[in-house]
Amino acid sequence: MKILFLGDIVAKSGRTVVLEELPSLRRDLKLDFVIANAENAAHGFGVTDKICIQLYKAGVDVITGGNHSWDKPEIIPYIAQEQRLLRPLNYPETTPGRGVGTFNDGSGRKVKVVNIMTRLFMELLDDPFTALSRELPPGTPKSAGFEAIIVDIHGEATSEKMALGHVADGHASLVVGTHTHVPTADTQILVGGTGFHTDAGMCGDYDSVIGMHKEASIANFRRKFPRERLTPAVGEATLCGTYIETDPTTGLAARIEQVRLGGRLQRQLPEL
């Protein structure tokens, strides 16, 4: 199975590159399933139902979130009823929405998607290690009836994300990080067969500070008062993500590649 995971879509620039490029990527790479993190899709903060619908139409199957999932309050009734929109699993039980789902690809194959948030330099949520372990099968994805299991680890600390990757090794197809908005160069297949990438990077304008207007962000680092309101950078975005092919006998990763397309970052696409 060929799967693409897209990192945090940031504001209009990020949405534009995804809406313009994903239909042809889906066709050219023969993708079976696409997941995108959209916690920053609405002007950098949160996501709306209208944006989710645009992303589904462009070829996204499932949308994940993070600490910014709640920035647009109108998402709350939508996330409560839309199965294809996830938020981190380890929020308190009363939080609207869900952190895990099982979906079918176009051929009826089952794909499980899990969205977890870390705790170092983040909000204090329930233990992500326990939350993740509960969702993993004792054996491979295939042994539990899944063609693939994809885990979005939303977090700041590379150490915590790598540790969670090792916890899932042998049981998930892909563990991929989001939230830092910078792609890391460590795509690998872990010893037990799980594809791992510490951070997929953002789909956004890299002439910025993690997708935000650079002057305002620099000003906030230089002086603490008065604070500038951060607004998204509006230049051409780079689409950033992680591509995997699964082994049909196990559901583990047979191949993992970075994807970078458009904008300022070096282009990188899987060779067919």
**Which member of 13, 16, 64, 67 binds Fe ion (CB under 5 A)?**
67
Instruction: Sheet with 253-261: list strands edge to edge.
Output: 62-64, 33-37, 2-6, 239-246, 253-261
Can 68 be counted among the known catalytic residues?
yes
Q: Does 118 bind Fe ion (CB under 5 A)?
A: no
Q: Which of 3, 152, 160, 185 is nearest to 69 (CA)?
A: 152
- Residue range at the interface with Fe ion (CB under 5 A); choices 63-71, 108-116, 160-168, 186-194: 63-71
Q: Tell the smallest beta-carbon distance from residue 165 to Fe ion (Å).
A: 18
CB of 143 to Fe ion, least distance (A): 32
Q: In the range 232-261, which residues lie near Fe ion by CB under 5 A? A: none
We find the least distance from the C-beta atom of residue 67 to Fe ion, in angstroms, to be 5
Contact between 40 and Fe ion by CB under 5 A: the answer reads: yes
Question: Given 43, 68, 181, 197, which residue is catalytic?
Answer: 68
Of 5-13, 79-87, 113-121, 245-253, which segment contacts Fe ion by CB under 5 A?
A: 5-13
- Give yes or no for residue 66 binding Fe ion (CB under 5 A): yes
Identify which range of 65-73, 141-149, 218-226, 227-235 contacts Fe ion by CB under 5 A: 65-73
Residue 157-196 contact track with Fe ion, rule CB under 5 A, x = bound: ----------------------x-----------------
Write out the catalytic residue numbers.
68
Binding site for Fe ion (CB under 5 A): 8, 39-40, 66-67, 179
